[in-house]
Amino acid sequence: MVQPLYLSVISGILCFATSSLAQPVNGAAAEPAQQRDNLQHCRSIPDSAERLQCYEKAAADRTKDLEPATEGGWRLLRTPNPQGGPEAVSIMRSADLVQTDPDLAGLMVRCAPKNPEVLIVMMQPVPPAAQPRVDIGPAGRTVSFTATVLPPGLAILLPDDAAALVQHQWQQAPELSIVVDEGQTKARGVVPMAGLQAALQLLLANCSP
């Protein structure tokens, strides 16, 4: 029963991370206070089983924001902007649990004023001041980026070059290998890419003009 619970936890963390991104691209974090407090409370629980249950409850409170999965397991997520204005719209794909470290949750692509932005979503927060190195791409053809950590530390924004890759080369890859190195720790994982093209088309169709 651990795996279904863990999948629910991933969905909850992805929702929380997206909430923190519901802001102008270069703005400060705008995560609603109640969601932030709930997440902090879950993180502080020492017992792993109770902590997972806490995350699952938080995920259940957020499932209304998740639309049905597209082919390949991608999901379209809409998150209202707490400051008003356009909602945040993104697609997300959970990592392959068998091939992925627990700290790496999955991959997200979100609407942005110019081009879509690519983010790595973490299960545990990365220090905000860190500039993690991210090696990402098909096996044997990874590229390295210096990434930016977005508050509260659960999302890592890749540079603009990653947007070009996700719209072209990466659509042909069966999966992406990801290594996030923030200096003290490394998180490794694999994210399936099946269905990315259709999911990206769905995302672009829902981005504000």
Residues in contact with 120: Cβ distance below 8 Å, sequence separation at least 6, in sequence order: 104, 106, 107, 108, 134, 136, 147, 155, 156, 158, 178, 180
State the pLDDT at residue 72. Answer: 80
Fold topology of 2-206: Immunoglobulin-like (2.60.40)
pTM: 0.71
pLDDT, one tens digit per residue, over 111-149 is: 988 889 999 998 888 888 899 999 999 988 999 999 999
Give 117's strand partners.
110
Q: Residue ranges per domain, the chain?
A: 2-206
Predicted local confidence at residue 75, as pLDDT: 86
Instruction: State yes or no: cis peptide before 128, omega within 30 of 0.
Output: no
Mean pLDDT of 140-166: 92
CA-to-CA separations, 17 to 154, 160, 172, in angstroms, rounded: 6, 20, 27
The residue-averaged pLDDT of 88-117 equals: 89
Average model confidence (pLDDT) for the chain?
Answer: 77
Q: What is the pLDDT of residue 119?
A: 93
pLDDT band at 7 (very low <50, low <70, confident <90, very high): very low
pLDDT of 19 > 90? The answer is: no
